[in-house]
Structure 1
Amino acid sequence: MPRTRLDTARIRAAQQVIDPVFLDTPLYSCEALAAELGCGVRIKLETANPVRSFKGRGTEWVTSRLAGAVVCASAGNLGQALAWSGRRRGLRVTVVASHLASTYKLDRIRALGATLELVDGDFEAARERAVNISRRDGIRLLEDSLDIETCEGAATIGLELADRADEFDTVLLALGGGALATGVGHVLKELAPGVEVICVQPLGAPALTRSWHERRVVTTDSTDTIADGVAGRFPIPDVLDDLLLVADDAVLVREVSIIAGMRMLLDHAGLVAEPSAALGIAAILENRERFAGRRVATVVCGSNVAMDAYRRWTSEGRVEQRP
């Protein structure tokens, strides 16, 4: 049987190294959401930690094996996590981001002590600049989802889910670069194969979902979504290969559904979720019949969002290009 790049033994080793502040996050049934959505809803909450996203699991594993300096490109969450883990271990961290990125996320990267460099263009332009810095300075380049440690760190969420897999039959995962989906998917297929793994991506940033359906890398010229954390245009071939082995389905959702999902998480679960974290709820909203009566778990993967934009989205429903 074909194998992914991931290894469960290494994932368990990562779990022993990652700061416990990122581990054993709550998994609980939300009855209020279940009543609204017509299916059982279990929330895996990955926001109650110092960087307010799941990314710290991966950066903890990466930085535990590094010395000196590291550079990454980030839409915001990875940069914060790398800055936090790097500061903890005395590493020099450089983060490259688009000047269009969330001001809130950029401010947090600076506050955590990383050197921040802004570039014109989108995330792909930031990635190219990070590659150049790595080559120029001879330092480690961390590439989310391509570097297996980021997937292994995210996969520790899968270990925690697998321990309670009798509580749900479906898991909904945000799909961006693919570390979360491939990591959690790998563990569930090995330890809880009866659980359906469904990946969710915005209609305005569909590259990896299209690639999964066509079984080949599909790129896009641009993205148009408020879910900046999953707005990539160039899927990584190795990540697609893994995703084809572990995902049962990949679906696209509209911006209006993402905003509705954010509102529902606030109104019925008391959670502030960034757009990427509401993708699972958006998927249920767009296909209630598919999920009716099922027991669904969704990973609320981040809460780093500018509050002025968040208030507009959740109160007025106004969609803007960027937070």
Structure 2
Amino acid sequence: MLTTRLDTARIRAARTVIDPVFLDTPCYRCDALEPVLACAVGIKLETANPVRCFKGRGTEVIADALGSGAVVCASAGNLGQALAWSGRRRGLDVTVVAARSAPVAKLDRIRALGARLELVDGDFERAREQAADIARHHDIRLVEDSLDLETCEGAATIGLELVEQAPSADVVLIALGGGAMATGVGHVLKALAPGVEVICVQPLGAPAMTLSWRQRRVVTTESAETIADGVAGRFPIPEVLDDLLQVADDAVLAREESITTGMRLLLDHAGLVVEPSAALGVAAVLEDRERFAGRHVVTIICGSNVDPDTHRRWTSR
């Protein structure tokens, strides 16, 4: 029996409060990729929206419930943009804490969307600590990605769409960072399409959640060294790991070379400019072609917030 913090009825209800601009995203067979990857490739495209990533699904649920007031979050970039967008629509006072080393394109977009941006030295975990301090000091809502159910159940609406859009899917590949998308989509698939294999993919240089899933306990790492900044956490959240253990069939790691090759393949064969996290599904196929050969594999393209010059440098190698 499926026992996670998530609830399928609440996930269905989330669709009623999420702005339609984030819903019913394209899901299609990418024939051009199939000869290269030796499997049937489905793309679920979560980048054709105002924040160019899936995070708006969750922040819409949060902002709708808050209605007014102030809110703060830590972000590697995408959650901050999404919360700024959802908050601006509803008149919320939004503060985003990010590492000074976060991609400039993401930081600029957070500012452009009207959020207060506070930069800290260190990595995402330091930003998370600072956001918690701000929330306590000012007595405002702290949004914690993946821990807050709204972020998971908002992301889970992707799963509702996949069940209808890709009924012949054998495998769904999901980028794994904090775990909101993996636990959300995974919950829906296990509840409504239990025959679909749910595989989470994380960079080899930032493996904390994958190691935790494999050992069935929280495993932290000293560092997170990867170009996939959106999934580069070091301290898995215990409650999220508990959910992930219920819904993921496997968790695999991908090398940096496979990630950049995946980005290049998505550009060359699908016309998609994606950030590294969004190429993790393709990277997983490249790492283990035999496992996926001849199967119908759907990968969620979760974000496209990447600096053009940096993207060119990565994909021209």
Q: TM-score, normalised by structure 2?
A: 0.99
Query: Aligned to 2:315, what secondary structure does the other structure show?
Result: helix
C-alpha RMSD over aligned residues? 0.6
Determine if the alignment matches structure 1 residue 163 to structure 2 residue 168. no
Query: Aligned to 2:200, what secondary structure does the other structure show?
Result: strand
Residue 256 of structure 1 corresponds to 257
Determine if the alignment matches structure 1 residue 304 to structure 2 residue 302. no
Give runs of aligned pairs for residues 27-38 of structure 1, distance below 5 A. Answer: 27-38=27-38
Q: What is the identity, as a one-letter code, of the residue corresponding to 1:197?
A: V
Q: How many residues get paired?
A: 316
> Structure 1 CA distance, aligned partners of 2:228 and 2:165?
29
Determine if the alignment matches structure 1 residue 207 to structure 2 residue 215. no
Residue 10 of structure 2 corresponds to 10
Query: Aligned to 1:167, what secondary structure does the other structure show?
Result: coil
> Structure 1 CA distance, aligned partners of 2:59 and 2:217?
29
Q: What is the identity, as a one-letter code, of the residue corresponding to 2:143?
A: L
> Structure 1 CA distance, aligned partners of 2:165 and 2:33?
20
C-alpha displacement of 1:167: 2.4
> Structure 1 CA distance, aligned partners of 2:91 and 2:215?
44
C-alpha displacement of 1:150: 0.1
Give runs of aligned pairs for residues 238-249 of structure 1, distance below 5 A. Answer: 238-249=239-250
Contact 1:165-1:195 at 8 Å conserved across structures: no
Deviations for 1:103-136, whole angstroms, at most 9, x for unmatched residues?
1100000000000000010000000000000000
> Structure 1 CA distance, aligned partners of 2:160 and 2:274?
23
Give runs of aligned pairs for residues 206-225 of structure 1, distance below 5 A. Answer: 206-225=207-226
Q: What is the identity, as a one-letter code, of the residue corresponding to 2:55?
A: K
Contact 1:124-1:233 at 8 Å conserved across structures: yes
> Structure 2 CA distance, aligned partners of 1:185 and 1:11?
12
C-alpha displacement of 1:2: 5.0
Contact 1:11-1:156 at 8 Å conserved across structures: yes
> Structure 2 CA distance, aligned partners of 1:188 and 1:284?
20
Q: What is the identity, as a one-letter code, of the residue corresponding to 1:280?
A: G
Q: What is the identity, as a one-letter code, of the residue corresponding to 1:50?
A: P
Contact 1:165-1:192 at 8 Å conserved across structures: no
Residue 125 of structure 1 corresponds to 126
> Structure 2 CA distance, aligned partners of 1:212 and 1:75?
22
> Structure 2 CA distance, aligned partners of 1:288 and 1:232?
27
Residue 282 of structure 2 corresponds to 281
> Structure 1 CA distance, aligned partners of 2:105 and 2:140?
27
Residue 74 of structure 2 corresponds to 73
> Structure 2 CA distance, aligned partners of 1:51 and 1:167?
30
C-alpha displacement of 1:164: 3.1
> Structure 2 CA distance, aligned partners of 1:154 and 1:121?
28
> Structure 1 CA distance, aligned partners of 2:36 and 2:203?
22
Residue 24 of structure 1 corresponds to 24
C-alpha displacement of 1:163: 1.4
Contact 1:71-1:96 at 8 Å conserved across structures: yes
Query: Aligned to 1:16, what secondary structure does the other structure show?
Result: coil
Residue 315 of structure 2 corresponds to 314
> Structure 1 CA distance, aligned partners of 2:34 and 2:157?
26
> Structure 2 CA distance, aligned partners of 1:91 and 1:167?
41
> Structure 1 CA distance, aligned partners of 2:38 and 2:83?
38
C-alpha displacement of 1:285: 0.4
Residue 185 of structure 1 corresponds to 186
Listed as ranges, the gaps of 5+ residues in structure 1 are 318-323
> Structure 1 CA distance, aligned partners of 2:167 and 2:156?
18
Deviations for 1:247-299, whole angstroms, at most 9, x for unmatched residues?
00000000000000000000000000100000000000010000000000000
> Structure 2 CA distance, aligned partners of 1:57 and 1:282?
25
Identity of aligned residues (%): 76
Q: What is the identity, as a one-letter code, of the residue corresponding to 1:230?
A: V
> Structure 1 CA distance, aligned partners of 2:85 and 2:164?
28
Q: What is the identity, as a one-letter code, of the residue corresponding to 1:3?
A: T
Q: What is the identity, as a one-letter code, of the residue corresponding to 1:135?
A: R
Residue 58 of structure 1 corresponds to 58
C-alpha displacement of 1:162: 1.0
Listed as ranges, the gaps of 5+ residues in structure 2 are none
